[in-house]
């Protein structure tokens, strides 16, 4: 097909499924996965507490939970459910699994720093916004409580909340973790726009906002802004 | 052409349907017994109902049991109202699998005129993909195989010709949509022995009227029309608008009927394939297959009216 012919396509022309079918995926996932949500949700709520501990082992456990969430939402929602009706979702699913494994390995290799005490409350508030408020977007859109998007089971809420934790990673490790989230944000925003799922557009928007706030909260940035910090950057010799 | 048992079942079903269902047709036609509008496939003389069913988006519901049951009801309504031509493609995600499950649940393999497509750039994979589609639909053979959007059409058409000669399929064809690549499409229509072409035509998208549809008549090629509702955009265009008073005179009772009758009244059109996920909409679509069709002057009035909205 010529390049000119491609220009005649609209976003809607690439949609293979309707909004009703997409929203049903959340309901089916929650039905099939029940009652594991009872384990997933408390673990999710414990992440801010772990991230603020001075002991590195707790923070590593928190990052591993985030890694598991990526693997769960990739292999579960994206590959097994969304992939049935939209083949690119399968690729994204395996990309999410790869991202989860990468995060898990990085949690071993690099030691993230504890969130400064002054900012722990903000981090907790933002995390709870991600894992408690954002799941209601799917409920608002579908009108079904059973469609709630749970962290660790569905990709957008997982990505939005975990972007806070990713932002805590040392900058050098952060770059390889960015491509998949960025491509997913673009893909999901385009999909929701084409499906005219207006509430769903909050999810990619929230991901970008939470990531920006996460960067602002990250210990390295906090330290560089702290005039009392002993860290003065590399010494010129 | 020798008729198979299945063709006989379809033919007998269509022609005897009005006689066997007087109540239904009395309802459809406001008290007057009605017969479905049939069109002839020029290459064989076979009659097919003028309203078929597309499956793009609507039947791609994955393994959701609730939605599969709902689509089965849609298909049942389609058959109950005299439909038979169902069109799908390997490009449509899980649609072929869902269709197969619905056909199986309804035990309706004998009722369907099965039309699907070959959609792969690998021109040597025609038979492999046809076999895969066979398994997904669960039909003994396809009535019609079409090259989807001209993708790899040279190689696929050669194989399809062999398959037709061997009796593996009954008809072959090519498809396009959204008015794309009409020049190349016309060249293939002029040079290849096609039974069917599938193209986009509706009250607003009428480019096919200028070359492709006259060419189809001249070459004796049946025409399947996709996107008769412009992918639903026509309904959005008229959503708050009542039907014009003169529509009732032309035997039109809903906007779906308005759009579909405009399409199937064109003399080159064999069949329109609207897609829907709702039983009520299927009932409206199938109502267009009964009663009077608009005259050419009425069609011009219909087009002008929709353009003015």
Nearest CA in chain A to B71: A21
Determine, for residues B60 and A87 on separate chains, whether the beta-carbon distance falls below 8 Å.
no
Report the pLDDT value the prediction gives residue B18, as an integer from 0 to 100. Answer: 44
Determine, for residues B94 and A85 on separate chains, whether the beta-carbon distance falls below 8 Å.
yes
Provide φ and ψ at B107, rounded to 5°.
50, 50
Distance CA B83, CA B152 (A): 31
- What's the number of domains chain A is made of? 1
Strand pairing class (B142-147; B47-49):
unpaired
DSSP output for B130-167: HHHHHHHHT-SSEEEEEEGGGTTHHHHHHHHHHHHHTT
pLDDT above 70 as % of chain B? 89
Residue A227 belongs to some domain of the structure:
no
Determine, for residues B178 and A16 on separate chains, whether the beta-carbon distance falls below 8 Å.
no
Cβ contacts (< 8 Å) between A18 and chain B: which residues?
Answer: 57-58, 277
Q: What is the pLDDT confidence band of residue B1, given thresholds at 50, 70 and 90?
A: very low
Cβ contacts (< 8 Å) between A194 and chain B: which residues?
Answer: none
The per-residue pLDDT for range B113-126, each reduced to its tens digit, is: 999 999 999 999 99
Residue A81 belongs to some domain of the structure:
yes
Of A73-87, B69-83, B239-253, give the lowest mean pLDDT range: B239-253
Task: Compute CA B46 distance to the chain's CA centroid, rounded to the nearest angstrom.
Answer: 15
Mean pLDDT calculated for residue range B192-221? 97
Determine, for residues B277 and A18 on separate chains, whether the beta-carbon distance falls below 8 Å.
yes
Residue A228 belongs to some domain of the structure:
no
Choose from A25, A27, A79, A84 for mutation: most chain B CBs within 10 A. A84
Which positions in chain B have a beta carbon within 8 angstroms of at least one beta carbon in chain A?
56-58, 60-64, 66-67, 92-94, 149, 178, 180-181, 231, 277
Query: Which residues 74-103 of A are in CB contact (within 8 Å) with B?
Result: 81, 84-87
Distance CA B90, CA B97 (A): 10
Residue A230 belongs to some domain of the structure:
no
| Domain range enclosing B91 | 5-308
Determine, for residues B58 and A87 on separate chains, whether the beta-carbon distance falls below 8 Å.
no
Report the pLDDT value the prediction gives residue B29, as an integer from 0 to 100. Answer: 44
For residue B55, the 8-state DSSP code is -
- What's the number of domains chain B is made of? 1
Choose from A17, A77, A88, A93 for mutation: most chain B CBs within 10 A. A17
Report the pLDDT value the prediction gives residue B22, as an integer from 0 to 100. Answer: 41
Residue B180 in this model has a pLDDT that exceeds 80: yes
Q: State chain B's mean pLDDT as an integer.
A: 90
Residue A6 belongs to some domain of the structure:
no
Report the pLDDT value the prediction gives residue A3, as an integer from 0 to 100. Answer: 52
Each residue's pLDDT, cut to its tens digit, for chain A (237 residues) gives: 455 566 677 888 889 999 999 999 999 999 999 999 999 999 999 999 998 888 889 999 999 999 999 999 999 999 999 999 999 999 999 999 999 999 999 988 877 777 877 888 999 999 999 999 999 999 999 999 999 999 999 999 999 999 999 888 888 888 899 999 999 999 999 999 999 999 999 999 999 999 999 988 887 665 555 544 434 444 333
Neighbours of B173 (CB within 10 A): 23
Cβ contacts (< 8 Å) between B67 and chain A: which residues?
Answer: 20-21, 24
Determine, for residues A84 and B62 on separate chains, whether the beta-carbon distance falls below 8 Å.
yes
The per-residue pLDDT for range B159-177, each reduced to its tens digit, is: 999 999 999 999 999 999 9
Residue A35 belongs to some domain of the structure:
yes
Cβ contacts (< 8 Å) between A15 and chain B: which residues?
Answer: 57
Distance CA B276, CA B59 (A): 8
Report the pLDDT value the prediction gives residue A105, as an integer from 0 to 100. Answer: 93
B93 min Cα distance to partner chain A (Å)? 5
Of A217-226, B148-157, B250-259, give the lowest mean pLDDT range: A217-226
| Domain range enclosing A211 | 15-215
Nearest CA in chain B to A15: B57
Mean pLDDT calculated for residue range B14-40? 58
The angle at the Cα of B183, spanning B181 to B186, to the nearest 5 degrees, equals: 110
Q: How far apart are the first and last CA of chain A?
A: 59
* CATH code (residue B52): 3.20.20.100
Q: What is the pLDDT confidence band of residue B30, given thresholds at 50, 70 and 90?
A: very low
Report the pLDDT value the prediction gives residue A222, as an integer from 0 to 100. Answer: 54
Cβ contacts (< 8 Å) between A13 and chain B: which residues?
Answer: 178
Residue A8 belongs to some domain of the structure:
no
A160 min Cα distance to partner chain B (Å)? 27
CB of A20 less than 8 A from some CB of B: yes
Residue A189 belongs to some domain of the structure:
yes
Which ipTM was obtained for this model?
0.86
Residue B206 in this model has a pLDDT that exceeds 90: yes
Cβ contacts (< 8 Å) between A86 and chain B: which residues?
Answer: 93
Mean pLDDT calculated for residue range B243-248? 90
Name residues whose C-beta falls within 8 Å of residue B61's C-beta, 6 or more positions apart in sequence: A17, A21, A24, A85, B67, B68, B71, B94, B98
Cβ contacts (< 8 Å) between B63 and chain A: which residues?
Answer: 84
Of A50-54, B53-57, B256-260, give the lowest mean pLDDT range: A50-54
Give the closest residue to B203 by CA, choosing from B92, B308, B89, B46. Answer: B308
Nearest CA in chain B to A22: B61
Task: Find the helix packing angle between A88-109 and A56-72, rounded to 10°.
Answer: 170
Report the pLDDT value the prediction gives residue A233, as an integer from 0 to 100. Answer: 41
CB of A24 less than 8 A from some CB of B: yes
Cβ contacts (< 8 Å) between A25 and chain B: which residues?
Answer: 62, 64
Choose from B59, B64, B136 for mutation: most chain A CBs within 10 A. B64
Report the pLDDT value the prediction gives residue A11, as an integer from 0 to 100. Answer: 85
């Amino acid at each position: 097909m010529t390049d000119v012919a491609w220009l005649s396509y609209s976003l809607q022309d690439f949609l293979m499924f309707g909004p009703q079918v997409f929203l049903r995926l959340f309901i089916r996932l929650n039905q099939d996965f029940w009652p594991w949500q009872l384990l997933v949700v408390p673990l999710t709520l414990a992440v801010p507490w772990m991230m603020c501990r001075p002991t590195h082992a707790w923070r590593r456990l928190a990052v591993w939970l985030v890694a598991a969430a990526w693997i769960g939402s990739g292999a579960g929602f994206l590959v097994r459910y969304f992939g049935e009706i939209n083949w690119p979702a399968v690729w994204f699913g395996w990309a999410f699994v790869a991202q989860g494994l990468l995060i898990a390995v990085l949690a071993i290799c690099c030691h993230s720093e504890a969130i400064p005490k002054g900012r722990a409350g903000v981090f907790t508030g933002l995390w709870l916004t991600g894992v408690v408020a954002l799941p209601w977007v799917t409920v608002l859109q579908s009108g079904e409580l059973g469609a709630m998007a749970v962290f660790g089971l569905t990709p957008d809420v997982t990505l939005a909340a975990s972007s806070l934790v990713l932002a805590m990673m040392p900058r050098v490790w952060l770059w390889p973790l960015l491509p998949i989230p960025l491509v997913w944000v673009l893909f999901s925003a385009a999909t929701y726009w084409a499906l005219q799922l207006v509430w769903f557009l909050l999810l990619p928007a929230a991901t970008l906002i939470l990531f920006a706030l996460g960067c602002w909260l990250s210990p390295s940035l906090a330290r560089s802004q702290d005039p009392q910090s002993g860290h003065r950057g590399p010494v010129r010799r | 052409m020798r008729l198979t048992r299945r063709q006989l079942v379809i033919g007998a079903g269509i022609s005897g349907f009005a006689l066997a269902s007087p109540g239904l047709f009395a309802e459809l036609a406001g008290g007057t017994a009605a017969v479905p509008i049939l069109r002839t496939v020029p290459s064989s003389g076979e009659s097919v109902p003028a309203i078929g069913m597309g499956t793009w988006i609507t039947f791609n519901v994955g393994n959701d049991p609730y939605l599969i049951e709902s689509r089965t009801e849609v298909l049942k309504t389609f058959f109950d109202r005299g439909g038979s031509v169902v069109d799908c493609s390997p490009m449509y995600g899980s649609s072929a699998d869902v269709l197969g499950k619905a056909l199986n649940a309804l035990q309706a393999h004998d009722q369907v005129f099965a039309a699907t497509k070959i959609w792969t750039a690998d021109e040597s994979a025609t038979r492999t993909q046809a076999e895969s589609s066979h398994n997904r639909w669960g039909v003994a053979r396809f009535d019609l195989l079409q090259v989807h959007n001209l993708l790899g059409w040279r190689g696929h058409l050669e194989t399809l010709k062999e398959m037709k000669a061997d009796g593996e399929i009954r008809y072959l064809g090519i498809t396009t949509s959204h008015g794309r690549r009409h020049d190349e499409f016309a060249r293939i229509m002029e040079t290849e022995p096609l039974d069917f072409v599938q193209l986009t035509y509706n009250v607003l998208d009428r480019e096919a009227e200028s070359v492709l549809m006259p060419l189809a008549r001249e070459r004796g090629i049946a025409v399947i029309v996709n996107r008769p509702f412009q992918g639903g955009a026509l309904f959005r265009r008229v959503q708050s608008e009542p039907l014009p008073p003169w529509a009732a005179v032309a035997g039109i009772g809903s906007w779906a009927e308005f759009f579909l009758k405009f399409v199937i009244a064109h003399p080159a059109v064999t069949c329109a394939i609207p897609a829907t996920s709702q039983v009520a909409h299927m009932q409206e679509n199938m109502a267009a297959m009964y009663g009077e069709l608009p005259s050419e002057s009425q069609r011009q009035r219909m087009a002008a009216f929709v353009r003015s909205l």
